[in-house]
Amino acid sequence: MEDVISMLRKIQYELDEQKTTIVQSAEKVTEQVTQHIHCIFEEKFKSIEEKYEKLKEKVENQEKRLYFLEKQSRQRNVVFFGIPETEKNYVELEKNILDFINRYYSTNLNQKDIQETRRIVYAPTEASSEEDLNIFYLQVNKAIDQAYNNYFIMGDFNAKIGQPRKDEYLIMKTHGYGERNQRGQMLIDFALEHKLAILNTFFYKKSKQRWTWRSPNGKHKNELDYILSNHPNLCQNIEVLNVKFPSDHRPIRATVFITKQMKKRTGYQDKRQSSLKTEQEIINYKQNILCHLQELNNCPRKISVQDYYNLLSKAISQSLKDARTSNETSKTTHKVLQERTLALIKRRQELHRTKNKTRAMKNELSALYKLISKYIKLDYKNYRSKTLEKYLKQAGSSKKALKELQTNKCWIESLNSEDKIVNNRKEIIKIATDFYKTLYSAQTEVYSIQNNVISLNETNSGNVTPIFENKVTQAIKRLKADKSPGSDGITNEAIKVANSLLTPPLTFIFNKILETAEIPSQWMESEIILIYKKGNSKDITNYRPISLLSCLYKLFASIINRRISTTLESKQPIEQAGFRKKFSTIDHIHT
């Protein structure tokens, strides 16, 4: 029996030890699992916290950016206050303000830059007579007649308008205040007459945020101050402000959204001319210029050089403009993309417009995106190689090809002006104009030998050999293509295409110039184009100027140059080796 009891005790002891071991193992596993879960949560919360900090930093940066943008926008606006008693004409006042700004702030504003005109009024008190009230509204009517397009009328009208009635929703909304009195009805009639919206009624506010006047005993509170406007859509909010100083009135503030009027494209004329790249444009140009030249042939023979040249240049320019094909015809063929690419793009658009797409359509759309992207890259690559090959064959240089492949043009962003950097386009043009005016008007000493000075009156113009038509034709054929025209827009291509048609009138005008020793005024004008060389791009001296002259002037100059080049060459001494044909720099060394 004792053996059995000892055996049971032994078994009980072993069971207790196993139980203790299991409990310890369970606690250890629980602790490990808890630690693992804590680590996972810490990692997740850490990443979320990092995202939160980054987002918070972005928000702070955006707030700072908005603050500075708002600050800059405030700096770009100027508010002027006028005295009502001295303002007889608001239009003249606005002109005087613009003159003052343009004179003292180096800017160029006009009447369109005035975004709105505000009239601050103060109605007669309750003790005043009805005659004073009528005079007040007559003065406001006069101010409205002289106001700009957008205007606001604001102030203390000493009137209570109350809730809107029937047929008054044109100028009022449902957010009225108090009860209407007689002066309130006069204000309503005035607003209806001029279609002025009472902005106080457009926004819901609590009653304690509506009153603008308080009686001396503090028992009565009314809304007497109003803001009226003929453009209520500009107003975004109306609110009454609490003041920290003792007063029976509270100021009212309106938040107005103002946008500067954009310039419309309809105000600009289409001055583009034909580039004569297609056969149809060339045919149209020849037909047009033939009609214009028939009118030119009817001119009297004693016409002046200037008048004849004006008619000739107008005929060429108008013919170029009329020959330009419309955009509809140019849209049919793309300069870069092939027909297969355009067909795929059209198919993709059709699939996009389909509302209920099947699985096959979605797969096709996905494949089209990849295929179109591949074809566009291939088309641009082929277009680039063909353009380079064309100009390498024509001129042996890739300069013109790279110019045609260029997708943008870089303008001069800024220039140094004394102690500041100028970014405005008008001021940049003014700096360049002043610089080259000073440069070209520099006084240089001119040494002349009196014996060689021959006046025009002493020459015998009758001995000058006239220019023949074959010389003009040869000079036209020698003109180079793809050259920039002058201010008249007449290109070398326009002269070469109509060579046979333009040769007679050009011969006539050139001989007329030789006879009268007069040149058209257009030949004395040139457009200066600045090309950046090197160094500081903000320094005007680091730009090389190119003068674009009239192509007709250069044609005449080439004819005269070929005529006198032989004579000038024979008169040059042998010591002069620079800038001469068949001479080199080594000729000076040997001499």
Name residue 433's amino acid: T
Query: Rounded distance, CA 549 to CA 320, Å?
Result: 18
Task: Please name which of 527, 570, 361 lies closest in space to residue 429, comparing C-alpha atoms.
Answer: 527
* Cβ within 8 Å of residue 86, ≥6 positions away: none
> Which of helix, strand or coil describes residue 262?
coil
Query: Rounded distance, CA 20 to CA 586, Å?
Result: 112
For 161-219, write each residue's pLDDT tens digit.
888 888 888 888 888 888 888 888 888 988 888 889 998 899 888 888 888 888 888 78
Where are the domains positioned within the chain? 1-76, 115-256, 276-377, 415-442+460-590
Task: Please name which of 560, 572, 528 lies closest in space to residue 546, comparing C-alpha atoms.
Answer: 528
For 45-79, write each residue's pLDDT tens digit.
777 777 777 777 777 776 666 665 555 554 445 55
Task: Please name which of 338, 340, 366, 339 lies closest in space to residue 352, comparing C-alpha atoms.
Answer: 366
CATH architecture label of 115-256:
4-Layer Sandwich (3.60)
* Cβ within 8 Å of residue 570, ≥6 positions away: none
- What torsion do the CA atoms of 112, 113, 119, 120 make, to the nearest 10 degrees? 180
Query: Rounded distance, CA 158 to CA 77, Å?
Result: 32
Q: For residue 519, give the H/E element and its range.
A: none
For 558-571, write each residue's pLDDT tens digit.
999 998 888 888 88
pLDDT, position 168: 84
User: What's the mean pLDDT in 25-38?
Assistant: 76
pLDDT, position 343: 92
Query: Rounded distance, CA 519 to CA 362, Å?
Result: 70
pLDDT, position 328: 46
| Tokens coding 496 | 């070469």
Residue 357 has pLDDT above 70, yes or no: yes
Residue 461 has pLDDT above 90, yes or no: no
pLDDT, position 447: 44
| Tokens coding 227 | 């803001």
If you average pLDDT over every residue of the chain, what do you get?
A: 80
For 463-493, write each residue's pLDDT tens digit.
788 999 999 999 999 998 888 898 888 999 9
Query: Rounded distance, CA 221 to CA 504, Å?
Result: 91
CB contact at 8 A, 485 and 491: yes
pLDDT, position 380: 92
Query: Rounded distance, CA 131 to CA 591, Å?
Result: 106
Task: Please name which of 192, 94, 73 lies closest in space to residue 147, comparing C-alpha atoms.
Answer: 94
Whole-Å CA distances, 136 to 15, 21, 33, 38, 121: 108, 102, 85, 78, 9
Residue 402 has pLDDT above 70, yes or no: yes
Lowest average pLDDT, out of 35-39, 89-93, 420-424, goes to: 89-93
CB contact at 8 A, 473 and 269: no
User: What's the mean pLDDT in 349-354?
Assistant: 89
